Structure 1
Amino acid sequence: MNAAQTCELPPAAYSELADFLRKSGSTLSPVEATIIAIREWMEKSRAAAAPLRGYQWKLLFIPEKSRLRMNYEGESYYAEVVGEEIIFRGDAVSPRQMAVQIAGDGRNAWRDLWILLPGERTWANAARLRDRLQQRAAKQPLSAADAMTVAAKSMSDALTTALALVEHANHQSQNTLERRLPRYRREYDQLTDDH
């Protein structure tokens, strides 16, 4: 498409956009709003295609530009994820190192650190974020190979149980027959012919 060619919006979309701009009090024209929307869409597409960077803390991934906070003795201490590191007081640290630098040894970084993810407005406790991830992982469906393994184990357990029940039933029926044999009866249990 060359620069002289233009793209027109369908009349219904143009009308809907013009109504929205008017009702929201925007000073943008529909053409200006369309240009802004297209540029934002292209930027989001580029950002989505870029590799995600951040800090991997065990199973919790903290994306770049996230902030970490720890409150201790009435003060708040902050760090930020830059690239693939947590930067606290100008140095790259682990979450545990941050907690130890603030409050000394014996602190639980999962419990003490709060995280503000990019685009969020509320801080979340690190332990709660980790727990949510674990719950989601537990709910995820098994892969086909895992499902087959679980099914095979269940079938094996069922077969073992069935064999044990058959063996028990055989043992019980054998004992019943043996109890009825004359050698296992007491003398007074046997009936004589004269009665």
Structure 2
Amino acid sequence: MATIEVDFEVFKELTVRRESESMTENDVIRLLLGLDDQASKPTAGNEMTGGNPWVCKGVAFPHGTEFRATYKGQMYTGLVAKGALVVQGKRFTSPSSAAVSITGNPVNGWRFWECLLPGEKHWKVIAELRN
């Protein structure tokens, strides 16, 4: 098995994007590169829906939901894992607190973030999901 060297920031992002304890960093990279699963492992809890959803203001974001936002020309990403939104290695309980961690200013996170729900093809501003 070949070895690659990554910096700490890349390692943290790979760790955040692991969908379950059984998912390896290699699995994350394969997913990001759009490669087929090496050996489709039918292990319990390895599916995108295997973890706890993150519920905020009555909206349930399933485990594996991806988040993205652009601020000052830079793309920021997040992922729902273990019942919380994880951005830059930190867990958040609201979209606004995650947005403030990026901007340093008060921000309406419901308009700041877009999400891609598991199994979907189109990103949505998360405010559209509120009733």
Q: Return the TM-score normalized by structure 1.
A: 0.40
Q: 1:84 to 1:78 in 2, by over 3 A?
A: same
Match of 1:54 in 2: 53
Shift of 1:52: 6.4
| Alpha-carbon separation, structure 2, partners of 1:101 and 1:84 | 19
1:93 aligns with 2:109: no
RCO higher in structure (CA 8 A, sep ≥6): 2
| Alpha-carbon separation, structure 2, partners of 1:103 and 1:51 | 32
Shift of 1:105: 2.0
| Alpha-carbon separation, structure 2, partners of 1:52 and 1:91 | 17
Q: 1:80 to 1:51 in 2, by over 3 A?
A: closer
* Contact residue 51 and residue 83 of structure 2 kept, 8 A: no
The residue type equivalent to 2:98 in the other structure is M
Off by >4 Å, runs of 4+ in structure 1: none
Match of 1:80 in 2: 79
Which protein is richer in helix relative to its size?
A: 1
Match of 1:26 in 2: none
Asked which structure has the greater CA Rg, the reply is 1
Shift of 1:124: 0.5
Question: Over aligned residues, Cα RMSD in angstroms?
Answer: 2.5
* Contact residue 79 and residue 85 of structure 2 kept, 8 A: yes
Give the unaligned 5+ runs of structure 1: 1-42, 135-195
Match of 2:116 in 1: 116
Shift of 1:58: 0.9
Counterpart secondary structure, 2:105: coil
Q: 1:52 to 1:89 in 2, by over 3 A?
A: closer
Shift of 1:103: 1.1
Q: Could you list the per-position Cα deviations for residues 7-46 of structure 1 after superposition, in whole angstroms to 9, with x for gaps in the alignment?
A: xxxxxxxxxxxxxxxxxxxxxxxxxxxxxxxxxxxx7xx9
| Alpha-carbon separation, structure 1, partners of 2:51 and 2:90 | 22
* Contact residue 53 and residue 83 of structure 2 kept, 8 A: yes
Match of 1:70 in 2: 69
Counterpart secondary structure, 2:96: helix
Count residues with an aligned counterpart: 87
Which protein is richer in strand relative to its size?
A: 2
Counterpart secondary structure, 2:111: helix
| Alpha-carbon separation, structure 2, partners of 1:87 and 1:106 | 19
Shift of 1:113: 0.7
| Alpha-carbon separation, structure 2, partners of 1:51 and 1:121 | 20
Counterpart secondary structure, 1:100: helix
- In percent, how many aligned pairs have the same letter? 29
Give the unaligned 5+ runs of structure 2: 1-41
